[in-house]
Amino acid sequence: MKIRAGYQITYDCPVPTPMILVLRVYPSRERDLVVADHPTFDPPLELSEYHDGFGNRCGRILAPAGKLTMSTEFLINDTGEPDIVAPDAEQHALEELPEDVLVYLLGSRYCETDRLLETAWKLFGNAPKGWKLVQTICDYVHDHLTFGYEHAHPARTAFDAFTEKRGVCRDFAHLAVTLCRCMNIPARYCTGYLGDIGVPLADEPMDFSAWLEVYLGKRWYTFDARHNMPRIGRILMARGRDATDVALVTSFGPCTLKSFSVVTEEVA
């Protein structure tokens, strides 16, 4: 399957403003790109790219005063298969986990494991472990939170979402990540493209999406507490401890988002 995807984002900055961008296809998917994912800027400007400590491909720009439009459109090969389901994937004892996944057990800006630890054990302490535990957590988050774009709030943490019982895909992901970590399952936050391929009645406007990956059975698996079903055609952009690390645009100054559109669709 081939997927066409891209975005067009416009900011308005009162003064020249440095920005960090995390807006590229994750390097592990580069081999599948048929038409390159090259961001373009209007007006043109210099982009300096690098990989951060999570393997994400980041860029730095100095956005000029005034409007800046960033866009890309690419074509990518995809297996066309839904997210893998592996009900037998086992949870690792802590002493068996590879060292580089341990950081995904710790708290982070929007995932306050210390504040949700007791809650997590009360809710899930008697649940079966492994894949089923993660699915139980995702079911819980899916049911506990009410989705709504009007509920988006950039500083909302997992604990906030838990108490307010609402949020957007980012909050679903943060809460599921936090609860998994509390239960000693390494979990990381993911962001990327997710179209409505294979979804009968998709009713949401196109946007980037957030989901999570958990470490079970010696590898990372994808879970999605927002949609709570295997999906086709995820195109990973970035991973991190939480949304802090993978913000699409981190602006060092007060800029305004003027417009935003994302496309992700199967190409016949």
Shortest approach of its own copies to residue 68 CB, angstroms?
A: 15
Q: 64: burial class by Cβ within 10 Å (0-12, 13-18, 19+)? A: middle
CB of 109 to its own copies, least distance (A): 4
Instruction: Determine if 267 is a binding residue for its own copies (CB under 8 A).
Output: no
d(CA 165, CA 7): 30
- Hey, which residues between 168 and 197 contact its own copies (CB under 8 A)? 184
- Minimum Å gap between C-beta 236 and its own copies is 8
As measured in angstroms, the least distance from the Cβ of 191 to its own copies is: 15
Contact region for its own copies (CB under 8 A) — 110-118, 128-136, 141-149, 198-206? 110-118
- When asked if residue 163 is in the footprint of its own copies (CB under 8 A), the reply is no
Nearer to its own copies, 257 or 261 (CB): 257
CA distances from 167 to 60, 71, 137, 233 (A): 30, 27, 16, 24
Cis before residue 128, ω within 30 degrees of 0?
A: no
Q: Does 268 participate in binding its own copies (rule CB under 8 A)? A: no
Q: Which of 42, 43, 65, 252 binds its own copies (CB under 8 A)?
A: 252
Q: Rounded CA gap, 58 and 160, in Å? A: 29
Instruction: Determine the straight-line distance between the first and last CA of the chain, rounded to whole angstroms.
Output: 8
- Whole-number minimum distance, CB 32 to its own copies, in Å? 6
Name the packing angle between helices 131-144 and 169-182 (round to 10°).
140
**Strand 40-42 relative to strand 219-223: parallel, antiparallel, unpaired?**
unpaired
65 binds its own copies (CB under 8 A): no
SS3 of 213, please? strand
Give the interface with its own copies as residue ranges (CB under 8 A). Answer: 1, 18, 20, 27-34, 36, 38, 48-53, 55, 58, 60, 62, 77-79, 81, 84, 86, 89, 93-95, 98-100, 102-103, 105-109, 111-112, 114-115, 154-155, 184, 217-220, 222, 244-245, 250, 252
